[in-house]
Copies of this chain bind each other. A is one copy, B any other.
Amino acid sequence: MALADELFREFRSMSVSEFFRKNAAMLGYTGRIRSLTTIVHEGVTNAIDAGEECGKLPNVYIRIENLGDGGRYRITIEDNASGIPEKYIPEVFGKMLAGSKAHRNMQSRGQQGLGISGAVLFCQTSSGKPVRVISSTGEKGIIAEVMIDVEKNKGKVSKKEEFDPKGWMGTRVEMEAKGVSYNRSKYGAFNYLRLTSLANPHVQIELIEPDGTKVLFERVTEELPKPPKEVKPHPYGITADDLLRLAREKGGERKSLKTILVKELSRFSDKRVRELKEKMALILLSRKLETQIEDLDKYLSEIQDEEEKRRIKKIYSGFLSQAAKILRKEARYLNWEEADLIVNAFSRMKLLAPPTEGLSPIGEENISRTMKAVLNPEFVACVTRPPKTYRGGIPFQVEVGIAYGGQVDEEGIEVFRFANRTPLLFDRGGCAITEAVKSIDWKRYGIDPNKDKVALLVNIVSVHIPYTSTGKQAIADVPEISKEIRLAVMEVARKLMRYVKRKKREMEKEAKMKALLKYVPEVAKAMSRLTGASEEEIETELSELISKKYLSSEDFSEEEREEAIKKEEKVILISNGGGLDEGSRKEAETTRE
């Protein structure tokens, strides 16, 4: 007795904030550059989500200041969205696992409730400073300083005052972190914002770098992506456990289970209830008779003995009433076995795939424009695949762009990964996108994966991105998603193959033509001697003949012509204009609306 009690004296529980205080690396706070990029990422995804949710074209302002003293930085992020109601400020910034997105079945950049509160936690543990929040919902402005009470996982507001926003709406967050760093490397905040801008052409991003350089990632379309829509869970995608929770959560006030199913699931209407009951009864009958029955009539028709047929029909109709009884009962009293039975019955029904109009991809045109602007390649092709679902009912969609030659940086295949239009800069190795690209036999497409210069842009959108970790930088290897990535990559690879082959053929023809043209003068001379015609004339005619033969026959198709590169204006305008100071900034804010 004493031994176990002794050993368990140290048993304790901790809050989620305490856990992530100890394991900040799990939220992406590892290394100086990555830590700063992660702070910017959390602020910017919130800013863009907020703008889109209130139907405004997002303007995001980021200022990064180096305060010296061993990597102490101030990071300011401001949006033009709807602002945060006063009472939610401590929750948004000071409570981990709290948010408005995690439990809603819709596409958004954030989904965990660990983002901005994680940034606040990292800032306060590294610099000791609270986060300063300035927010206005239109009529009243609030300035508040928030810290996390780590033991309790609760927001603490240390200072608070009101101000007159003079019509300004939005949220400005000022965070101070220590032990971080800023640069323009691949993993730095600059590149993160650049890629964010590319995948979000409707967003205007203004960055003031520590040396005062002002960078404007300009908005290139005034069109807001269609707003993300909440999608009800699909019967194919829910587990018995999900159904139990749904029944308990929504099943107050004596609502029947049937009502809950029809109301809370997508693609399941009143008309399908009868079929559900039949499938439930059939499963119960199969269990009872210890044989798998898919079709009752067919099963009965194979039985000779009329007595036996009647017996089975009677059992079946008993199970039918049992199923009806389950569906009539109060939802909150549903038990596991019943839920399991219903989910099993769902899987035997033919149901429409879940609605996918809530998904908002970047679109082929935008991807193409993006890749041309950044890489100035020789060839670009894009595909946005039709929406699919994984685990039975979670909608997702894959889009891929491929670029070849030009300014594609290095030899080999470079992959730009995005999830819900958010760039994934880290944890490349463990990501399903990387694996899918690697698994393709590039030689089959006439591409040497070590020598040819190829860039891929892969974006996955979903109401629930299956990240491998709380750091949200890699996508889990879900078979349905991996397959779609492969198919999409293969589709653009085929287009590239056609281009490369055509190009090669053209080059071969040109070489042949040139070889033939070399003999023209000599041939012309000989023919002139034989025929007496003018040597120049024969030479010209021969040359034209050869050129015509080799240039006219095969030409690039309309599609390929379209995909071929025109010169595009750069998306990024860089002005070294010292940046705005705080005063003129404030002015700009109040006049902006």
Interface residues of chain A, those whose CB is within 8 Å of chain B, are 1, 3-5, 7-8, 10-16, 18-19, 21-23, 25-26, 30-31, 53-54, 82-85, 88, 91-92, 95, 97-100, 102-104, 112-113, 124-126, 128, 137-140, 150, 239-241, 245, 336-337, 339-340, 427-431, 434-435, 464, 466-471, 474, 476-478
Contacts and interface: CB of A to CB of B under 8 A. Distances in A.
Contact of A239 (B112, B125, B427): B125
B466 A14 contact: no
A264 to B, nearest CB: 16
A8 B97 contact: no
Given A7-B54, A98-B11, A477 B85 contact: no
A431 B25 CA distance: 13
B4 A84 contact: yes
A327 B229 CA distance: 58
A281 to B, nearest CB: 19
Contact of A466 (B25, B340, B435): B25
Contacts of A428: 429-430
Given A3-B54, A3-B137, A82-B3, A10 B241 contact: no
Nearest to A30: B476
Contacts of A464: 22
Max chain B C-beta neighbours (<10 A), residue from A4, A54, A113, A128 = A4
A475 to B, nearest CB: 10
Nearest to A128: B336
Nearest to A95: B13
Contacts of A22: 102, 464
Given A1-B138, A340-B128, A98 B477 contact: no
Given A99-B11, A139-B1, A23 B113 contact: no
Contact of A4 (B3, B26, B85): B85
B31 A100 contact: no
A82 B6 CA distance: 10
Given A5-B137, A30-B477, A477-B30, A103 B12 contact: yes
A16 to B, nearest CB: 5
Nearest to A3: B82
A470 B467 contact: no
14 contacts: A1-B140, A7-B54, A8-B84, A11-B91, A12-B99, A13-B113, A14-B97, A16-B16, A30-B478, A126-B241, A128-B337, A128-B339, A429-B429, A430-B430
Contacts of A25: 466-468, 476
A35 to B, nearest CB: 12
Contacts of A5: 85, 137
Contacts of A84: 4, 8
Given A128-B340, A470-B26, A14 B429 contact: no
Nearest 3 pairs between A and B by C-beta? A429-B429, A469-B469, A13-B98
Contacts of A471: 468-469
B430 A98 contact: no
A12 B98 contact: yes
A111 to B, nearest CB: 9
A11 B100 contact: yes
Given A4-B83, A434-B429, A10 B470 contact: no
A128 B339 CA distance: 10
Max chain B C-beta neighbours (<10 A), residue from A53, A137, A428 = A137
Nearest to A99: B11
A427 B468 contact: yes
Contacts of A54: 3-4, 7
Contacts of A336: 128
A250 B97 CA distance: 28
Contact of A468 (B95, B104, B337, B469): B469
Contacts of A100: 7-8, 10-12
Given A16-B97, A23-B470, A429-B430, 7 more contacts: A5-B85, A5-B137, A16-B19, A19-B112, A21-B241, A126-B239, A428-B430
A99 B14 CA distance: 9
Max chain B C-beta neighbours (<10 A), residue from A97, A427, A430, A464 = A430
Contacts of A478: 30
A138 B4 CA distance: 9
A230 to B, nearest CB: 9
A304 to B, nearest CB: 31
B15 A125 contact: no
Contacts of A26: 467-470
A352 to B, nearest CB: 24
A93 to B, nearest CB: 12
